[in-house]
């Protein structure tokens, strides 16, 4: 890449995955939160399945 005289700062953090020049933020991926929602739903239905047997 050619040098255009501009610098960019990238901050990697816990809440935001990356922040570019304090303006553009990229959210962190949250796979655990997504999986916990599914786990809660499956656990609610488990006792119902056991009663049917």
pLDDT reading at 45 higher than 70: yes
- Percentage of the chain lying above the pLDDT 70 cut: 85
Beta bridge partners of 26: 18
Q: Give dist(CA 10, CA 47) in Å, integer.
A: 48
Query: What would the pLDDT profile of 28-43 be if each residue is shown by its tens digit?
Result: 777 788 889 889 988 8
Residues counted in the chain = 53
């Amino acid at each position: 890449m050619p040098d255009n005289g501009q610098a960019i700062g990238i901050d990697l953090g816990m809440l935001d995955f990356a922040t570019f020049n304090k303006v553009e933020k990229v959210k962190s991926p949250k796979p655990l939160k997504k999986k916990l929602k599914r786990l809660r739903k499956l656990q609610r239905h488990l006792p119902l399945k056991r009663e049917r047997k």
